[in-house]
Structure 1
Amino acid sequence: MKRVIVGLSGGVDSSVAAYLLKEQGYEVIGLFMKNWHDDSVTISNECPWLDDSNDAMIVADKLGIPFQTVDLSEQYKERIVDYMFHEYEKGRTPNPDVLCNREIKFDVFMKIALELGADYVATGHYCRKATLEKDGKEIYQLLAGVDTNKDQSYFLCQLSQEQLSKSLFPIGELTKPQVREIAAKLDLVTADKKDSQGLCFIGKVRLPEFLQQQLKPKEGVIVEIPESNQAFHKETPSFSNKLEELEYLSEKASYQVADGKVVGKHQGAHYFTKGQRKGLAVGGTAEPLFVIDTNVDDNVIYTGQGKQHPGLYKRALFVSNEEVHWVREDLALQVGETMKVQARIRYRQELQNATLYQVENGMYVEFEKPQSAITEGQFVAWHHGEELIGSGVIS
């Protein structure tokens, strides 16, 4: 019997994952990760870790599997929270869920599981793993979950071949309603539990208050940039080569306060992200205002009216070499090579047709159609069909 350690989070997905593995004849152990101690920034009673760990324990008891809790809050603070503060400070918007999988669940947690004699680690992610043989070597594939509405392969876009080799995703072949149905039949306490929202394992966090622990509020102005601004009506220059064009298409716009009008005040540019609409508290415009850029050095937020504002759209992005990650290392591009892919720049976005261009210092991703709110610090993930083959941090 192979031993599998399941990350039991106290939710319905990991509960059913544990049940399915037991049915398949594995020796299953449930392990709950405690990653957070500070309840002062979590929103009242929404998914505090204590309720979750109790639910996980009740599920383990019901399934007749051993259960224990591990405290990873120190590593979580170091690898996720500190990183988040650091990124926000630089005016970037990190994705803690992707990081949490790479750094905590499939690294720190996985090492603990392997030390406990596990052959595999399993989670309740909606994705699938497949294997293929190439040049006599086994290669692991990360595939989208069958439930297109819940596919979570994006959150695992930073996993390595080594991590995938030791991972199992038991519910990847199921839809969410099927998972809930199984849990209901088994009368599991988590059957009707709402999906957790917010930071991986912390629960719903009030982000500004959370960030204020380290990043002090400081008042700045909100500037509205009109669509008539000349930056949006420049003639496209002619390029002598593709690289010049890619540099031009992925260039970050630069605005000055004088380019628009001051329409309000904010408490810190680093609390805002591109494409954000909520929290600006500016009224009186024909269409809602969206953040089109933030400047943390000058502490200014630039906004534009409406979802179609040209300041939101770009056709290409850049990922520096140290941030390029291939799940399928065998497909990695060499300098000068290109590859047609489908890509997304955020979770749940429909896959978009794109082309990768590997250059000396990194990789350009050029989209067929302009993309809204390409945000520095977020992850771009690229696919061949239902297989996620690589990803990178947008720079």
Structure 2
Amino acid sequence: MKRVIVGLSGGVDSSVTAYLLKEQGYEVIGLFMKNWHDDSVTISDECPWLEDSNDALIVAEKLGIPFQTVDLSKEYKERIVDYMFNEYERGRTPNPDVLCNREIKFDVFLKIALSLGADYVATGHYCQKDTIQVEGKPVHRLLAGADGNKDQSYFLCQLSQEQLSKTLFPIGHLTKPEVREIAKEQDLITAGKKDSQGLCFIGKVKLPDFLQQQLQPKEGVIVEIPEDQSFYQKSIPDFDSKEDELAFFSNKIDYSVDQGNVVGKHQGAHYFTIGQRKGLAVGGTAEPLFVIDTDVNENVIYTGQGKAHPGLYRRTLFVNQDEVHWVREDMRLNIDETMRVEARIRYRQPLQTATLYQVDSGLYVDFDEPQSAITAGQFVAWYVGDELVGSGVIG
């Protein structure tokens, strides 16, 4: 009997994960990760980790599996929360959920599981894994979940072959309604429990409140950039090389206050992200304002009217070489090589066709169609078919 440690979160997905593994004959142990206990930043009437750990315990008892709690709040603060604050301070928008999987669930947690004699860890992610042979060696493939509506492969885009080799995704071939049905049939307390929202493990956090603990409010101006500005109509030069062309299309515009009109005030540019519409509190425009850029040094937010504003769109993004990650190491590009892929720059975005170009300094992702709100600090993940093969932090 192989031993599997399940990250029991107190939700329906991990509950059914544990049940299915037990049915398959594994020796299953449930482990609840306590990663946060500063209740001042969660929404007041909830104490998510307490309620969730109780539900996880009840599920473990129902399934007749051992259960314990591990406190990873120190590692979580160092690796996720401090990183988040640092990124926001630099005017970037991090994705804590991707980091949480790479740094906590499939690193700290995985190491604890292995130290307890586990052969594998298992999570309730909606994604799938299979193993193929490449030149006589096993290679693990990270595949999209069967439920297109719930596919969570994007959140696992930073996993390595080593991490995948020790991981099981028992519900990846099921849809959410099927998972709930199994939980109901087995009379698990989590069967009807709503999916958790908010930050990975922290619960339903008010992000501005969370950021304000560390990043002081600082009044600045909101500037609206008209869409008929001349720099949006600039002519495309003749390029000496493909790399010059990609650099041109990946360049962000450097805005200045004198290019637009001051339309309001804000409490800190580092609280805002590109593409954001809510929270600007500026009325009186024909179409809603969207954030098209933030300048944390000058503490200015640049906005444009409407979803189609040209300041929201770019065709090409760049990933610095030290931020390029291949799940499939055997498919890594050499300098000057290209690859046709489908890519997404945020969770739930439909896949977009693109070409990867590997250069000395990093990787360009050149989309067939301009993309809205390409945001520094977020992850771009690229797929071949339904397999996620690599990812990187957008520069």
What is the aligned partner in structure 2 of residue 158 from structure 1?
A: 158
What is the aligned partner in structure 1 of residue 113 from structure 2?
A: 113
Deviation of 1:187 (Å): 1.2
Deviation of 1:45 (Å): 3.3
Taking the aligned partners of 2:305 and 2:102, their CA distance within structure 1 comes to 37
Taking the aligned partners of 1:111 and 1:376, their CA distance within structure 2 comes to 31
Give CA-to-partner distance per residue, 1:254-274, whole Å, 9 cap, x none: 111011100000000000000
Structure 1 SS opposite 2:29: strand
- For the 8 Å contact 1:324–1:392, the answer to whether it is kept is yes
Taking the aligned partners of 2:237 and 2:61, their CA distance within structure 1 comes to 67
What is the aligned partner in structure 1 of residue 12 from structure 2?
A: 12
What is the aligned partner in structure 1 of residue 355 from structure 2?
A: 355
- For the 8 Å contact 2:269–2:296, the answer to whether it is kept is yes
Which ranges of structure 2 fall in alignment gaps of 5 or more residues?
none
Structure 2 SS opposite 1:203: coil
Structure 1 SS opposite 2:355: strand
Taking the aligned partners of 1:279 and 1:37, their CA distance within structure 2 comes to 27
What is the aligned partner in structure 1 of residue 367 from structure 2?
A: 367
Q: In the alignment, residue 101 of structure 2 is paired with which amino acid?
A: N
Q: 1:46 to 1:152 in 2, by over 3 A?
A: farther
Following TM superposition, the consecutive aligned residue runs of length 4 or more in structure 1 with deviations greater than 2 angstroms are 44-47
Taking the aligned partners of 1:288 and 1:190, their CA distance within structure 2 comes to 40
1:219 corresponds to 2:224: no
What is the aligned partner in structure 1 of residue 331 from structure 2?
A: 331
Give CA-to-partner distance per residue, 1:76-121, whole Å, 9 cap, x none: 0000000000000000000000000000000000000000000000
Taking the aligned partners of 1:351 and 1:67, their CA distance within structure 2 comes to 39
Q: In the alignment, residue 64 of structure 1 is paired with which amino acid?
A: G
Give CA-to-partner distance per residue, 1:342-391, whole Å, 9 cap, x none: 00000000000000000001000000000000000000000001000000
Taking the aligned partners of 2:333 and 2:176, their CA distance within structure 1 comes to 36
Taking the aligned partners of 2:47 and 2:361, their CA distance within structure 1 comes to 42
Deviation of 1:47 (Å): 5.9
Comparing 149-158 and 209-218, the one that deviates more: 209-218
- For the 8 Å contact 2:356–2:365, the answer to whether it is kept is yes
Structure 1 SS opposite 2:368: strand
What is the aligned partner in structure 2 of residue 97 from structure 1?
A: 97
Taking the aligned partners of 2:45 and 2:174, their CA distance within structure 1 comes to 30
What is the aligned partner in structure 1 of residue 275 from structure 2?
A: 275
- For the 8 Å contact 1:2–1:119, the answer to whether it is kept is yes
Taking the aligned partners of 1:237 and 1:206, their CA distance within structure 2 comes to 45
Give CA-to-partner distance per residue, 1:318-360, whole Å, 9 cap, x none: 0001100000000000111110000000000000000000000
Taking the aligned partners of 1:328 and 1:357, their CA distance within structure 2 comes to 17
Aligned residues: 395
Deviation of 1:251 (Å): 0.3
Comparing 102-111 and 222-231, the one that deviates more: 222-231
- For the 8 Å contact 1:158–1:391, the answer to whether it is kept is yes
Taking the aligned partners of 2:47 and 2:230, their CA distance within structure 1 comes to 48
The equivalences for 1:1-395 within 5 A come to 1-46=1-46, 48-395=48-395
TM-score, structure 1 normalization: 0.99
- For the 8 Å contact 2:39–2:47, the answer to whether it is kept is no
Taking the aligned partners of 1:303 and 1:160, their CA distance within structure 2 comes to 38
Deviation of 1:44 (Å): 2.5
Taking the aligned partners of 1:35 and 1:318, their CA distance within structure 2 comes to 33
Deviation of 1:211 (Å): 0.7
Structure 2 SS opposite 1:190: coil
Give CA-to-partner distance per residue, 1:227-258, whole Å, 9 cap, x none: 01111111111111111100000001111101
- For the 8 Å contact 1:354–1:367, the answer to whether it is kept is yes
Deviation of 1:46 (Å): 4.2
Q: In the alignment, residue 310 of structure 1 is paired with which amino acid?
A: P
Give CA-to-partner distance per residue, 1:138-196, whole Å, 9 cap, x none: 00000000000000000000000000000000000000000000011111111111100
User: Among the aligned pairs, what percent are the same residue?
Assistant: 78
Structure 2 SS opposite 1:392: strand
Which ranges of structure 1 fall in alignment gaps of 5 or more residues?
none
- For the 8 Å contact 1:47–1:204, the answer to whether it is kept is no
TM-score, structure 2 normalization: 0.99
- For the 8 Å contact 1:35–1:201, the answer to whether it is kept is yes
- For the 8 Å contact 1:381–1:392, the answer to whether it is kept is yes
Root-mean-square deviation over aligned CA pairs: 0.6
Give CA-to-partner distance per residue, 1:193-221, whole Å, 9 cap, x none: 11001100001111111111111000000
Taking the aligned partners of 1:45 and 1:277, their CA distance within structure 2 comes to 27
- For the 8 Å contact 1:47–1:196, the answer to whether it is kept is no
Q: In the alignment, residue 327 of structure 2 is paired with which amino acid?
A: V
Taking the aligned partners of 2:315 and 2:248, their CA distance within structure 1 comes to 10
- For the 8 Å contact 2:161–2:328, the answer to whether it is kept is yes
